[in-house]
Amino acid sequence: MLAIIVFAVLTIVGFGFFGWNISKVRSNILLGKDINRNDQKGERWKIMTLVALGQKKMFARPIPALLHLCLYAAFVITQIELIEIIADGLTGNHRMFHDSLGGFYTFMVSFIEILSVLAFIATVIFLARRNLLKLPRLTMKELSGWPKQDANLILIAEITLICFIFMMNGADEVLYSQGKSHLEGQGSLGFSISSLIGPALFGSVSEHGLHLIERIGWWGHIAMVFGFLNYLPYSKHFHIVLAFPNTWYSNLEKKGKFTNMESVTAEVKLMMDPNADPYAAAPADATPQRFGAKDVTDLTWKNLLDAYTCTECGRCTSACPANQTGKLLSPRKIMMDTRDRLVEVGEGIRKNGKDYNDGKSLIGDYISEEEIWACTSCNACVQECPVNIDPLSIIVDLRRYLVMEESKMPSELTGMLTNIENNGAPWQFSPADRLNWKDEA
């Protein structure tokens, strides 16, 4: 009875704390400006199914894609066994679905064990890629410190969780073969992996020792699951949860199409309308809309959802032509900086109210002007992202703020913008002289 109470408390606290963290993340994302992403629902379901569920864009790089698929499949399918563990913990039973499901139960647990072995191999390879092979995109300076520790920590936790699974199943296999398991009956459970490694590892262990190993595996498994669940909101691995909504809310416009600012569009229409009264266009006490984005609250909620969804895989940065030529820009860093700033602003608002102002901003304190002006607007980062994150939209809005509110831009652009303003084109020719070349001999 005590074990049931302890398990119930652990379950309530685990899910409760996770819900509390999710509410904080949601409130942070909703600090962004509104944007409508509810059109073309059929197309959105298709994109989410192919990109988030089907891992479509991952397979541009087959080897890491297959390794990731092993982890992904193991994570999803293992939740079936987790349902039984929770049911056992709350009722005091042991493998309560074993008798009712029969052979199907054996098949499912065996399948989970095979996936767990594949996940174990993939995890070891991922650790080697990061720490021994040191792939360039996984060793860039924005990953130094906590991001690197976060990636290693979650991989080590995955290995630990798999070990707990095989401790639980392996010891139970030996106990069942001796007729001493909590589960009635005797023989072999018939699980694909534990029926082999169980006798090999635990065959000479005493009955008391086997029960102890099985319980350590069982409790360790559920503790790791709840720990991982509540670690997610603080980790890049939150994409496990957010990949699905983020791909559903993807930008369905053609790549390269920039959004027009409503305030600017309204002003242009007002100028073009001879019957409009410019003095009646807006109330005198109206708060003017900011041009572009200075801080995270000037971005859209989808930009902020992108920041939380970033997997820090670096595919965007490795495909970025500016980064490849030695420029300071890293699209991955743009997303990581946006997320870090959003967390900071969100905590400040919760503690100090909506008027919170720490004197810092996304542009300048987190992202430098040099970074955003290095962008060529080629959309390579958008194309490469496996969960349809759009760093370019953030970069464009930061540029808009610098140009339209701060009048800051690289000197190379000043002449071009002046020509556009005066001549309607980037070149230093008046409209009347633009075709003079055709009269030349």
Mean pLDDT of the chain: 89
- Distance, C-alpha 338 to centroid of its chain: 13
pLDDT in tens, 127-163: 999 999 888 888 899 999 999 999 999 999 999 999 9
- Cα–Cα nearest to 414, from 424, 426, 423: 426
pTM over cut 0.95 = no
Q: What is the CA 57 to chain-centroid distance, rounded?
A: 14
pLDDT tens-digit readout, 334-358: 999 999 999 999 999 999 988 888 9
CB 211 within 8 A of CB 123: no
Name all contacts of 196-200 with Cβ < 8 Å and 24+ positions apart.
197/166, 197/170, 198/169, 198/170, 198/171, 198/172, 198/173, 198/174, 199/173, 199/174
Q: Are 217 and 171 in contact (CB under 8 A)?
A: yes
As a whole number of angstroms, the distance between CA 375 and CA 395 comes to: 8
Q: Is pLDDT above 60 for 437?
A: yes
**Long-range contacts for 171-175 (Cβ within 8 Å, ≥24 apart)?**
171/198, 171/202, 171/205, 171/210, 171/211, 171/213, 171/214, 171/217, 172/95, 172/198, 172/214, 173/198, 173/199, 174/198, 174/199, 174/202, 174/203, 174/205, 174/210, 175/207, 175/210, 175/211, 175/214
Identify the pLDDT of residue 76.
Answer: 81
Give burial (CB, 10 Å; 0-12/13-18/19+) of 135: middle
**pLDDT score of 280:** 61
CA distance 22 to 63: 33
Q: Over 90: is that where the pLDDT of 180 sits?
A: no
The pLDDT tens digits of the residues spanning 74-121 come to 888 887 788 888 888 888 888 888 888 888 988 989 999 999 999 999
